[in-house]
Structure 1
Amino acid sequence: MNKFIPIALCLLSTGAFAQEAKKAIPFAEKQTDVMLKAIPEAKATAIKPNSVVPRTLDTKGNLVLIPSKDWVSGFFPGELWYLYEYTHNNKWLTAAKEYTAYIEQEQYDKGTHDLGFKIYCSFGNGYRLTKDPKYKEVIITAAKTLSNRFSPKTGVIKSWDNRKEWKYPVIIDNMMNLELLFEASKLSGDSTFYKIAVSHANTTLKNHFRADYSSYHVIDYDPETGAVLHKQTHQGYADESAWARGQGWGLYGYTMCYRETKNPVYLEQAEAIAKFIFSNPNLPKDKVPYWDFNAPDIPNAPRDASAAALMASALYELSTYSTNGKQYRKTADQILSSLTKHYQPQPGESKGFILLHSTGHKPANSEIDVPISYADYYYLEALLRQSRLAKGQPVVAM
């Protein structure tokens, strides 16, 4: 592990764990101040044109900026909205509006399934907190754009275009984009979005999961018949391995789908995924997973703090629906404690990122043991959810 900032916590009760946000949010604010100062400097040397938001650090520790087209672009605006939500400080509101505006054009991007990540994390949170009618229209337009990638023949939304190795690839990550469709259905009154989301969730449940409820990363469909052509784990160690962040996408996705539909099948699926993850013998004691549960070099394999933060956020919501709620909440508390104590940089370092030790795409030797903006996003979301539960509030604010 790299250097970390120790934060003393009492671990004796859930109430004690709820103090996490009181310490972690001020740290996140100070780090984000550093980030906002680092961004203009990084723009001067950005490799990609029109780079507007941070993604990670390069091997020399330089801030990597990305254009709005990148699938990660919505996370930093989302972080700013979360800071505003927790603190009510207008400084964060102003910054959130500025960086959200940079992503607006993505509502029309027909070439990606990642509109949920890009638009819902930014405009979705923005609309929830401000009720700005312009944000509402962006959400609905993005949902219409995303819907164009749905095929009644396959029953799912296509993930990637122009990939020679696949005909109609669908990745487990795509479960996360369904929240945009559910929200757009409520905002517009158009049930088409809802029906597409349900079809995608049902088809993914049928085809993406193994008998032990671990998930493949990619399922390739025949676009003419809807038949499954191939199953693999593109970003994991091997096709039959369990890529950690992919398991997190599934856990979060089916928990969210249960919230939106109240279909008990989705709740059962989320609980089964949770059982696979948290009873896995290769899960470290601190509950921050290795990048793949079957990585051959465990215990020396890289960790993935982004997967841990994602899982913690999902568990807080799942805890409010399940009879295993107390255990889920306890586990989420333990994850947040680990991340806060052992996966943060020293104050002011790492260009303002909040968490260290994430793994992006190890098979491609890309973003290994680095900070990544989506790790920070789900970490802040988990902290907010923990705080709401401690106050007796709904875990998912509407």
Structure 2
Amino acid sequence: MRLIIIVLLICLVGCKDQKNENTEEIAQATAVKEVDFDLDEAIEDCEDQLEISVPKLTDLTKHPRLIETGENEWKELENHRLRWTSGFYPGILWYMYDITKEDKWKQEAIKRTEVFEDFKTITEHHDIGFMMFPAYGLGYELGGMTEYKDILLTSAESLASRFNPKVGTIRSWSNKMHPRWKQHITIIDNMLNLELLFWASDYGGGPVYKDIAVTHAETTMKNHFRDDGTSWHVIEYDSITGDVLNRHTKQGLNDDSRWSRGQAWGIYGYTMVYRETGDKKFLDFAKKITDAYLKLLPEDYIPHWDFDIDTTQDDDRDASAAAIVASGLLELSTLIENERDRERYYNAALNMLKSLSSPAYSGVGKADSFLLHSTGAKSLGHEIDVALIYADYFYIEALDRLKKMKGQ
């Protein structure tokens, strides 16, 4: 009897050891290896690029918008209430200050931010969020400029004035500027402007701004996306009934094509909405549209400007879309409990940043920008294969986020 018990114990120990070995083998086989990306070198390159470009950008009545193909210096546009890209340059400077803590970047950021104070009353379009939050919002959050609070609250009030409760979204463009559409227009880009409203609710504006942002996100989630998780660019609503009249595009290949930067706005936007609300439906949706995007990427993780182009005839990429998604995915990876999904999105973001920082897409040694090879609106015939200021903005935001994640 004693012999039988001893044999059983030996078998149990052996089975347990075998089970542990199998578990370890499975864990090793399924482990996700972190992508080899040199964050410090990428940050150093960005600072070196700013050291070159900032002394050239001295006219405070203008802001850098793009670097044309074959050129190396920023083309500056006059500051104007209709120019949605004006806030990105000061935002870049705020991020460089946040990364380095060097006062010279803060002082430059303040100088470039405060020329836009009068923009706080813009009500003629939705882009006030793009214009004010990267400048004044980051100044408040990263630079400790608490005096910017009232400017941001006024900006949020101006943005909220474009909300149509019968439709459930913030109106994007005016029909005068875009006569193709006759009624209420909402574009997928508008998801990024919601962050200003969430901020305002948290800092004294009251729940109304958050309610508007959530309603806009819900309506857009319902009407702006196909069953496969890809988005349209422009939705025209009946201003009275809220019915969808048309699903079109302005910057994509055609009305039914999948414009890559539009998908990027959605991924970044719904990740941000989940962060601000904690509502799991927004997390699930962010994951759905992210997975749709990732399936369509080429091998180097940098999308073509539209996923439906004939790549045998057109190979133009959009580094700006890649930068937006890289930044969004880094944040998304911090909000997900499932370890496999968390690692999958994190490493996808690193692959994007690795390609963007490589000689294939980097502006280092070629131009004053961080990145090259973005496409603004090829279907309209402009900003094709250029450097774009918002590509640089979301790229340095991604680097700042990654630095903080690694520090934690």
TM-score, normalised with respect to structure 1:
0.89
CA distance in structure 2 between the aligned counterparts of 1:216 and 1:236, rounded to whole angstroms: 9
* Partner in structure 2 of residue 143 of structure 1: 156
Secondary structure (helix, strand or coil) at the match of 2:335 reads: coil
CA distance in structure 2 between the aligned counterparts of 1:346 and 1:29, rounded to whole angstroms: 11
Of the candidates 190, 198, 215, which is equivalent to residue 174 of structure 1?
190
CA distance in structure 1 between the aligned counterparts of 2:386 and 2:241, rounded to whole angstroms: 41
CA distance in structure 2 between the aligned counterparts of 1:94 and 1:149, rounded to whole angstroms: 34
Query: What does 1:47-62 correspond to in 2, within 5 Å?
Result: 51-58=61-68, 61=71
Of the candidates 383, 386, 394, which is equivalent to residue 402 of structure 2?
386
Matched residue type, 1:339: L
Of the candidates 351, 356, 373, which is equivalent to residue 372 of structure 2?
356
Asked if the contact 1:15/1:390 (under 8 Å) is kept, the reply is no
* Partner in structure 1 of residue 179 of structure 2: 164
Shift of the alpha carbon at 1:301?
Answer: 2.2
CA distance in structure 2 between the aligned counterparts of 1:93 and 1:81, rounded to whole angstroms: 6
Matched residue type, 1:206: K
CA distance in structure 1 between the aligned counterparts of 2:254 and 2:153, rounded to whole angstroms: 38
Asked if the contact 2:94/2:143 (under 8 Å) is kept, the reply is no
Query: What does 1:99-248 correspond to in 2, within 5 Å?
Result: 99-161=112-174, 162=176, 163-166=178-181, 167-248=183-264
Matched residue type, 1:297: T
* Partner in structure 2 of residue 395 of structure 1: none
Asked if the contact 1:290/1:298 (under 8 Å) is kept, the reply is no
CA distance in structure 2 between the aligned counterparts of 1:53 and 1:325, rounded to whole angstroms: 37
* Partner in structure 2 of residue 5 of structure 1: none
* Partner in structure 2 of residue 63 of structure 1: 74
CA distance in structure 2 between the aligned counterparts of 1:345 and 1:391, rounded to whole angstroms: 27
Asked if the contact 2:364/2:370 (under 8 Å) is kept, the reply is no
Q: How far does the alpha carbon of each residue in 1:59-102 deviate from its partner, in whole angstroms, 9 at most, with x for none?
A: 56253212142100000000000000000011100100000012
CA distance in structure 1 between the aligned counterparts of 2:107 and 2:210, rounded to whole angstroms: 32
Query: What does 1:79-118 correspond to in 2, within 5 Å?
Result: 79-118=92-131
User: In 2 relative to 1, CA 293–102 (structure 1 residues): closer, same or farther, beyond 3 Å?
Assistant: same
* Partner in structure 1 of residue 50 of structure 2: 32
Asked if the contact 1:58/1:64 (under 8 Å) is kept, the reply is yes
Q: How far does the alpha carbon of each residue in 1:255-301 deviate from its partner, in whole angstroms, 9 at most, with x for none?
A: 00000001111101100011101112xx2111000000111235742
* Partner in structure 2 of residue 306 of structure 1: 320
CA distance in structure 2 between the aligned counterparts of 1:385 and 1:87, rounded to whole angstroms: 13
Secondary structure (helix, strand or coil) at the match of 1:193 reads: helix
User: In 2 relative to 1, CA 275–148 (structure 1 residues): closer, same or farther, beyond 3 Å?
Assistant: same
CA distance in structure 2 between the aligned counterparts of 1:116 and 1:264, rounded to whole angstroms: 25
Of the candidates 332, 336, 352, which is equivalent to residue 353 of structure 2?
336
Bigger drift between 128-137 and 213-222 goes to 128-137
Shift of the alpha carbon at 1:14?
Answer: 3.0
CA distance in structure 1 between the aligned counterparts of 2:49 and 2:313, rounded to whole angstroms: 30
Asked if the contact 2:45/2:364 (under 8 Å) is kept, the reply is no
User: In 2 relative to 1, CA 173–114 (structure 1 residues): closer, same or farther, beyond 3 Å?
Assistant: same
Question: Which consecutive residues of structure 2, in runs of 5 or more, have no partner in the other structure?
Answer: 1-31
Matched residue type, 2:266: G
Shift of the alpha carbon at 1:234?
Answer: 1.7
Q: How far does the alpha carbon of each residue in 1:322-357 deviate from its partner, in whole angstroms, 9 at most, with x for none?
A: 22110000110111000001211233x42x211000
User: In 2 relative to 1, CA 300–246 (structure 1 residues): closer, same or farther, beyond 3 Å?
Assistant: same
Shift of the alpha carbon at 1:37?
Answer: 2.2
Matched residue type, 1:89: E
CA distance in structure 2 between the aligned counterparts of 1:218 and 1:293, rounded to whole angstroms: 17
CA distance in structure 2 between the aligned counterparts of 1:117 and 1:184, rounded to whole angstroms: 14
CA distance in structure 2 between the aligned counterparts of 1:300 and 1:207, rounded to whole angstroms: 30
TM-score, normalised with respect to structure 2:
0.87
Asked if the contact 1:51/1:68 (under 8 Å) is kept, the reply is no
Asked if the contact 1:316/1:328 (under 8 Å) is kept, the reply is yes
* Partner in structure 2 of residue 23 of structure 1: 41
CA distance in structure 2 between the aligned counterparts of 1:55 and 1:85, rounded to whole angstroms: 22
* Partner in structure 2 of residue 7 of structure 1: none
Asked if the contact 1:52/1:102 (under 8 Å) is kept, the reply is no
CA distance in structure 2 between the aligned counterparts of 1:188 and 1:115, rounded to whole angstroms: 19
CA distance in structure 2 between the aligned counterparts of 1:31 and 1:198, rounded to whole angstroms: 38
Secondary structure (helix, strand or coil) at the match of 1:250 reads: helix
Asked if the contact 1:56/1:65 (under 8 Å) is kept, the reply is yes
Secondary structure (helix, strand or coil) at the match of 1:54 reads: strand
